[in-house]
A and B are shown apart, each in its own frame.
Chain A
């Protein structure tokens, strides 16, 4: 195993790790707010569940980027490529957008969605607006994922 491969694996780990932490934190923020609403009116469960799921996507994006690195470096098929240090660093750099943006946007989206829970509590018919507001935050995670994936796919191995 070369140093380059280790760097690439660190990149994959960062993507899954940081974006996952962001999502976990975001989902838990919404979950706490949502539980309060459900304790008063259990019938709102499905509506607040939608909101709670929103910040969960960053973790998935991190997973996707990590998977792309693993596939591209042939780690999954068992005969890992001998990457140079430059190539390894390239993978590490490519993982950074989704890792960092995933972490922060996951938490921020969680906060927006948690605030949206109060819309669902008071005006359940306007639930959709809360969802849209939270979805705005996700835009930047999507952009980051896009850049990460485009970078990973275009690194020559």
Chain B
């Protein structure tokens, strides 16, 4: 129960069977393939094939994104938990057969999407043009109108405000000016001159910073605008059609998902192939496999294929991957271990060490039986009702166990949605029902709970030291194990009654015994902690330094467990405040209505925030206080070749197909 023992696997088989064997391994998902590094064996180059799969897969993913964008699937909260669609293996083959059809649909979807973006660009350009033309709307000649047989025309803009008369004054005599439109920033002008004074007028205008209107089309602005508007509405129609097409093609959603997963599997299969070593007619596969799957896999492969399989123990130099396996009680908190780091080479799996205290501390921090009940009900329903991924299932199981622990502590402390029972009885039935606590209420005696917290903390810490002791002992350094652990036990256990004596009365026999243990512990620590140092001075100061470290370190660690009390108090007192707010009004009817509303909203919020708090601070107590005693971490996760699909999973897993 801990880290699974790993074996190295070496499989030699016929080249012709290579794809089938890889497929089998992929479905079983128990072997992590290492890259072949034997130079005498050939490697195969699969880059081109894998690239092809990637390209198709990307197209399908892109198409699926587009569909989700234009025709989103109606998602509900149940979908979130419902996991992957289950399919039979042969059905998966059939779906994959339709790949060409699905890929053409994917390309069609992408084409339509491109049409929509292109149209959107054109439309915005046309709209800008229309805006420009609005200024020239009163003009009934095209903007590129040059004049008649005897006249010449200037059509353009001056970058300031000017009246027709003042401009005419500056121009030669036989010019007439018409202001088409204007504003403070600019004046749009139509100027007609006789042919003879055309050049002269041009010179004057240039000096005034006149800019000619540029428009290649020989249509009046009015005509142009209506043409553009027609074009826009055509494009919009096209866009709508493209959207409809996409919505129609959205029926391929399921097939697209299949194809994405199918291609992903093929790609990974070929990636695995690239890790193999080849001779002319055989291939060699090396990798890691958990010991317990060895024989089963050997039987299965040897029954079907000509192959030689050898299992060997990994050497110290091997980078062995880590896979955790624990009892059903501990395995739900494996996720917490993973969040910190997987056990490294010399580590034990800390999951079984912390699991009991994890549930215990979580319950103590949340410490409201009502909230625990909600957690228990919610997670049990979710676990029963939905098909879940393994990791999700583990997390929910963890919260279910924490919920049970929360009910336990809540009942001990008499907190059911705070003091709702007492509040209802007092306000609506004029009765005092007193405390519901099976043990005591933290608010009436916080010091007692503080000492309980420290006590549990000491047990938690000593457990960590014990694990460290066992690890050192197992490596053969038995004296080291004793000298590291014994003084800490003596000091911590010795200090406990003395410390408790500051708050409550402790029998003097206990404090005296504690004092002797403390002194013995300190002496042993000072004498032995510096043992690795060579000189006598080094030994002595090493011992003193260790004493200082132990004193400050363990004191800080133990005090840190006061959060068990503080977070418990926080939950309970906020819950009481919520109930109090609900019963503010004098009128009983108002009181009832308000209480119901405040109860639902308030307790939901309180549960959410304290759930987060309990989770985070339980993690912290494990990571900082417990793990620091024996755990380093830094292991690599076991990543077997497996069916790594996103949307589907296989129903079968019978071994005789």
- Give the size range of A's interface with the partner: 20 to 34
Choice from B559, B563, B573, B612 contacting A67 with Cβ under 8 Å: B573
Bits for A39-60, please: 1 = Cβ < 8 Å to B, else 0. 0000000000010011011001
Contact residues in B for A63 (Cβ distance below 8 Å)? 574, 577
Contact residues in A for B620 (Cβ distance below 8 Å)? 132, 135-136, 139
A143 touches B574 (CB 8 A): no
Contact residues in B for A67 (Cβ distance below 8 Å)? 573, 577
B445 — nearest CB in chain A belongs to which residue?
Answer: A153
A96: min CB distance to chain B, Å: 17
> Interface residue count for B (Cβ, 8 Å)?
28
Contact residues in A for B623 (Cβ distance below 8 Å)? 132
A153 touches B446 (CB 8 A): yes
A57 touches B609 (CB 8 A): yes
Complex alpha-carbon distance, A143 and B562, angstroms: 7
A43: min CB distance to chain B, Å: 12
Complex alpha-carbon distance, A139 and B564, angstroms: 11
Work out how many contacts link A and B, with CB atoms closer than 8 A: 66
Complex alpha-carbon distance, A63 and B573, angstroms: 10
A131: min CB distance to chain B, Å: 6
A148 — nearest CB in chain B belongs to which residue?
Answer: B566
Q: Any chain B CB within 8 A of the CB of A157?
A: no
Q: Any chain B CB within 8 A of the CB of A149?
A: yes
By secondary structure, the A interface counts as helix
Q: Any chain A CB within 8 A of the CB of B339?
A: yes
Contact residues in A for B624 (Cβ distance below 8 Å)? 136
B560 touches A139 (CB 8 A): yes
A57 touches B613 (CB 8 A): yes
Complex alpha-carbon distance, A76 and B565, angstroms: 24
B570 touches A135 (CB 8 A): no
Complex alpha-carbon distance, A139 and B616, angstroms: 11
Complex alpha-carbon distance, A145 and B580, angstroms: 21
Bits for B566-600, please: 1 = Cβ < 8 Å to A, else 0. 11011001100100100000000000000000000
Q: Any chain A CB within 8 A of the CB of B555?
A: no
Contact residues in B for A149 (Cβ distance below 8 Å)? 446, 566, 569
Contact residues in A for B577 (Cβ distance below 8 Å)? 63, 67
Q: Any chain A CB within 8 A of the CB of B447?
A: yes
Complex alpha-carbon distance, A139 and B573, angstroms: 19
Q: Any chain A CB within 8 A of the CB of B27?
A: no
A146 touches B616 (CB 8 A): no
Residues of B with Cβ closer than 8 Å to A?
339-340, 443, 446-447, 450, 559-560, 562-563, 565-567, 569-570, 573-574, 577, 580, 609, 612-613, 616-617, 619-620, 623-624
**What are 9 A-to-B residue pairs whose CB atoms are below 8 Å?**
A54-B616, A60-B570, A131-B619, A132-B623, A135-B617, A138-B617, A143-B559, A146-B562, A146-B565
Residues of A with Cβ closer than 8 Å to B?
50, 53-54, 56-57, 60-61, 63-64, 67-68, 76, 128-129, 131-132, 135-136, 138-139, 142-143, 145-146, 149-150, 153
